[in-house]
Amino acid sequence: MLALDGLARRFGEREALGGVSLSLSEGQTLVVFGPNGAGKTTLLRVLATLLRPHAGTVRVLGASLPDEAWAVRGRLGLLGHEPLLYRELSPEQNLTYQARLQGVPRRRVAEVLEAVAISSRASEPLRMLSRGMVQRVAIARAVLHEPDLLLLDEPYANLDPAAVELVEPLIGAASGRTRVICSHDPGGGLAEADVVLGLREGRPELLRAARAVSSGEIRELYR
């Protein structure tokens, strides 16, 4: 499902990510921990085909990146720091646009808006909604096309406990999807993880099955 070997990515002279090697099977969840600037978002963007790797090999859903990126587009769901939605459009208009790009039927838009409980405000411009609501719409966008691999950057940011419960079937373990999650929450992240990757300054410092990792080890990454 996911196989990285010596993945590296630079921005100018600075190496944002280096020496990352791991594999992940279908249905597993990889949780990536690390302080700000550790390379978590860069890793997600490489896996999402939005950044090219500068060294190493990257295989996602059986396709080699960047050469076969076309083969995985439409099978990835990315939830980043930005919602990837237009502020002036309503949730319904945003998702209808995404549905047309992804080639999914229009009825799916109503389904996911219902699933994140935004239906009643689906026709208001996005800029009128709270950050938590925008995050729910962004989650709806990420799963609209039923992706095989979910790439989630702090997916529960801005969500209240009720909203976290609401989106759990879409992006949580119960979704059955293979997931890569960036998190700053040792307790919550470990509970989600099958495999844990700890990054510091772009280098992997911890890579282990989640059951063999303590939350103390994760907190150590941030010191």
- Does position 55 bind other proteins by CB under 8 A? no
Half-sphere exposure of 190 (CA within 13 A, CB side): 13
Which of 110, 117, 173, 221: binder of other proteins (CB under 8 A)? Answer: 173
- Does position 220 bind other proteins by CB under 8 A? no
- Does position 217 bind other proteins by CB under 8 A? no
Nearest to residue 183, comparing CAs of 23, 24, 19, 35?
35
Helices 131-143 and 107-115: angle between axes, nearest 10 degrees? 130
Q: Tell me how far apart the 2 most distant CA atoms of the chain are, in Å.
A: 49
Alpha-carbon distance 65 to 166, whole Å?
Answer: 34
Stretch of residues binding other proteins (CB under 8 A), selected from 35-43, 48-56, 114-122, 158-166: 48-56
**Nearer CB in complex with other proteins: 25/130:** 25
**Least distance CB 90 / other proteins (angstroms):** 9
**Nearer CB in complex with other proteins: 17/51:** 51
**Least distance CB 6 / other proteins (angstroms):** 9
Stretch of residues binding other proteins (CB under 8 A), selected from 32-40, 110-118, 128-136, 169-177: 169-177
Stretch of residues binding other proteins (CB under 8 A), selected from 16-24, 32-40, 157-165, 214-222: 16-24
- Residue 11 φ/ψ, nearest 5 degrees: -120, 105
Residues 6+ apart with CB under 8 A from 5: 21, 56, 57
The answer to whether the peptide bond before residue 66 is cis (omega within 30 degrees of 0) is yes
- Does position 85 bind other proteins by CB under 8 A? yes
Site for other proteins in 92-121 (CB under 8 A): 93, 97-98, 100-103
Alpha-carbon distance 125 to 117, whole Å?
Answer: 16
Alpha-carbon distance 148 to 46, whole Å?
Answer: 16
Site for other proteins, rule CB under 8 A: 3-5, 19, 21-23, 25-29, 48-52, 61, 70-76, 78, 80, 82-89, 93, 97-98, 100-103, 125, 141, 145, 148, 173-178, 194-195, 204-205, 207-211
